[in-house]
Structure 1
Amino acid sequence: MKTEDVAKIRNIILRQLDAFREDDAEKAFSFAAPKIQKIFKTPEIFLHMVRNSYRSVYRPQSFGFRGTQRIDGNIVQPLAVIGPTGMSETALYIMEEQPDGTWKIGACIMAQEPGKNT
């Protein structure tokens, strides 16, 4: 994967994390892939879902990118996160390149890291 694509992908994730921190539903929603936008319909519904189901991404204490990977044809950007309760998790961002060459977040899968609670 090209270095510039990795930088673009990480920038999208950082910008969405900033939007979550600011509770900017519209901005956060803009980084979601069209299929995600179709599922959640409005920025407010999307932010409500993130706030309730993805607390570690919504309000991380800290986070750090891990190596971008291609898994089963998908581009996956792992993000190690320490959530608001101190639990260590990995957010696996499934990225989708759009027809215009931009990247959007197609999914985020949370995986708890065993034995790494702080």
Structure 2
Amino acid sequence: MKTGLLRLLAGAAMIAMAANTVHAQSPDESAAQDIVTRQLEAFLAGDFDEAYSYASPGIRKLFPSLEQFMSMVRTGYLPVLRPGNYAFGRMENLADGRLVWEVLIQGPGGEDYTAVYFMERQGDGSWKVDGVSLRRGAAGMT
């Protein structure tokens, strides 16, 4: 195994051990996690229209065209665009009803990153990605 992958798995294990209790995911949590997975898989497949479809209305307002959205992703979120491996870490319910997921990502060069996904529930009950904060290192190691 590559050293980066081992660090990524070690970081995921640290997150799991740090949790005080383990709980089954609610249907909302599962649905939000599924959207993050679908967006990452769409990026990997080169289906940028689909990846853009998972962006919240707020993100679409900031980046009103697919070209603007992809320019932003290519310049600031390359590990999200081309993840080598990824694993879900901690999740938190925010007071405003949004969910936050930590996603541990191995970037295309083997470096470890933590992508923090802010998920927003839509009027129809679906979830959309409302922002991503990316930092180097696996969670618990930064």
TM over 0.5: yes
Give ranges in structure 1 of 5+ residues lacking alignment.
none
Higher RCO structure (Cα 8 Å, ≥6 apart): 2
2:51 to 28, 37, 43: 28
1:47 to 45, 70, 94: 70
> Map of 1:75-86 to 2, 5 A cutoff?
75-86=99-110
Instruction: Give the structure with the larger strand fraction.
Output: 1
Contact 1:40–1:46, Cα closer than 8 Å, also in 2: yes
User: How big is the shift at 1:67?
Assistant: 2.5
Write the distance in 2 (CA, Å) between the matches of 1:85 and 1:97.
33
* Secondary structure in 2 matching 1:68: strand
Give ranges in structure 2 of 5+ residues lacking alignment.
1-23
1:106 to 130, 135, 138: 130
Normalised to the residue count of structure 1, the TM-score between the two structures is 0.88
Write the distance in 1 (CA, Å) between the matches of 2:84 and 2:115.
14
Identity %: 34
Contact 1:28–1:47, Cα closer than 8 Å, also in 2: no
User: How big is the shift at 1:39?
Assistant: 0.8
For residue 79 of structure 1, what is the amino acid of its counterpart? Answer: V
> Map of 1:1-40 to 2, 5 A cutoff?
3-40=26-63
Write the distance in 1 (CA, Å) between the matches of 2:27 and 2:43.
24
Normalised to the residue count of structure 2, the TM-score between the two structures is 0.74
User: How big is the shift at 1:82?
Assistant: 0.7
- Cα pair distance change 1:23/1:44, threshold 3 Å: farther
Q: Which structure would you say has the larger Rg?
A: 2
> Map of 1:60-99 to 2, 5 A cutoff?
60-71=83-94, 73=96, 74-99=98-123
Aligned residues: 116
Write the distance in 1 (CA, Å) between the matches of 2:55 and 2:39.
9
* Secondary structure in 2 matching 1:7: helix
